[in-house]
Amino acid sequence: MSRPTLLYLVTEDWFFWSHRTPIARAARDAGFRVVVATREDAHGDRIRGEGFELVPIKLRRTNVNPLAEMAAIGDLVDIYRREKPAIVHQVAIKPVVYGTWAAARAGVPAVINALDGLGFVYGSQRLSAKVLRPPVGLLLRWALNRPNVHVHLQNDDDRATMEKAGALRHGRVSIIRGAGVDLDHFAPLPEPDGPFAVGMAARMIHEKGIGDLVEAARRATAAGTPVKVILAGAPDTGNPTAISEAELQGWAAEGLVDWWGFQTDVRPLWAAAHVAALPSSGEGLPKALLEAAACRRPLLATDVAGNREVVLPGETGLRVAYQDVAALTEALVRFARDPEARRRMGAAARRMVETAFSEEVVVRETLALYRRLAPAA
């Protein structure tokens, strides 16, 4: 008997590798043929090395040319017809909308539409995001409510936002919290020696609150509590709020920031930092914070969707309002001056990940969803 095909549609190969590889391995081991439709860049050989089949796509996050977009959708229809998936698992707003159209044309029996956070359109308060929100909402209302579609979200806040926008009108929704953390790989780490440092692993975009964190460190240092910021991540030129390399280098020249660039392994970052920060505008479920928590780091983040699932005030870390630099400064000073609180919150953060956010938990829940949608597997 032939194996049922599970096809992932993800625009970037690095995102698949970072966020979907463990569950794809489990699906492969459970009897699925796994196909990854993505833009091949630096991770193609790794994906194939897992025994997955990689299909390059024309879809790009930053395309706005109507002819290119129509060609990308036609390409997806061809791929779905050729690969004949039992399930397509589509990740992020653009793949969800385009892929659902292609799945309808190709007769795909089961579609999982995953929104790992609501992205720039729903997370940003910029005018361009507000202008895009109504038409994107209409498209999502169509894509998320088709009879063969199951919706995968990572937190209850995003579910409430989608329901309020009228984009969710059925009960075929699973809240599966994050991509899971490998608790053996991300083991507890001792605090570093030396001056207080706060680490942040993220794409270098302003919506992550990186500029606010740097300004807070500047204010804390000027007031007599030195704070070093260590940034791990690359500028995302496909995002409208990308931070330029020149700005990052300027912060480094000022002495406030160590910018490490993209890191394939972020454990050295958490070994060098006393606290993990993510003062962003919104998340699905912040993988970077969960990995830091597994390393027994206390967390500092904004009080927004996704972060609320992970940062429990006074227990696993501290929360501040988005773009409240004064509150962010105060939190940095508090952490810098209270090593006992850091140790207590870091230990609680590790216990939280072990209980609710381990790779084992997420893999089990997602594989159960696949088996429900493709019983023959």
Give the model's pLDDT for residue 134. Answer: 78
Domain count along the chain: 2
Whether 249 and 347 map to the same domain: the answer is yes
Give the model's pLDDT for residue 374. Answer: 86
Q: Are 73 and 98 in contact (CB under 8 A)?
A: yes
Q: Is residue 186 part of a domain?
A: no
Q: Is residue 272 part of a domain?
A: yes
Whether 352 and 363 map to the same domain: the answer is no
Q: Is residue 61 part of a domain?
A: yes
Q: Is residue 192 part of a domain?
A: no
- Position of tokens 């000073």? 333
Whether 112 and 226 map to the same domain: the answer is no
Question: Which domain CATH number covers 64?
Answer: 3.40.50.2000
Q: Are 315 and 338 in contact (CB under 8 A)?
A: no
Whether 76 and 215 map to the same domain: the answer is no
| Structural domain boundaries, residue 264 | 197-356
Report the helix count and the strand count for the chain, using DSSP H and E: 16, 13
Residues 117 and 158: their CA atoms lie apart, in Å, by 7
Pairing of strands 5-12, 257-261: unpaired
Pairing of strands 5-12, 275-278: unpaired
Residues 27 and 218: their CA atoms lie apart, in Å, by 47
Residues 129 and 196: their CA atoms lie apart, in Å, by 36
Q: Is 101 exposed, middle or buried (0-12, 13-18, 19+ CB in 10 A)?
A: middle
Whether 102 and 175 map to the same domain: the answer is yes
Whether 171 and 212 map to the same domain: the answer is no
User: Which residues of the chain register pLDDT less than 50?
Assistant: 377
- Position of tokens 């088996």? 371
Residues 274 and 292: their CA atoms lie apart, in Å, by 10
Whether 14 and 36 map to the same domain: the answer is yes
Element (DSSP H or E) covering residue 87? strand 87-91
Whether 241 and 169 map to the same domain: the answer is no
Whether 321 and 369 map to the same domain: the answer is no
Whether 144 and 237 map to the same domain: the answer is no
Q: Is residue 191 part of a domain?
A: no
Letter string b/e over residues 32-61, b meaning 16 or more CB atoms within 10 A of that residue's CB: bbbbbbbbbeebbeebeeeebebbebbbbe
Residues 254 and 276: their CA atoms lie apart, in Å, by 21
**Side-chain half-sphere of 286: how many Cα atoms within 13 Å?**
32
Whether 134 and 215 map to the same domain: the answer is no
Residues 179 and 21: their CA atoms lie apart, in Å, by 9
Q: Is residue 175 part of a domain?
A: yes
Give the model's pLDDT for residue 237. Answer: 80
Whether 226 and 248 map to the same domain: the answer is yes
Please report, for residues 79, 121, 181, 249, the alpha-carbon distance to residue 87 in angstroms, rounded to integers and kept in the order given.
13, 27, 24, 45
State in Å, rounded, how far the first CA of the chain is from the last one: 10
Q: Is residue 188 part of a domain?
A: no
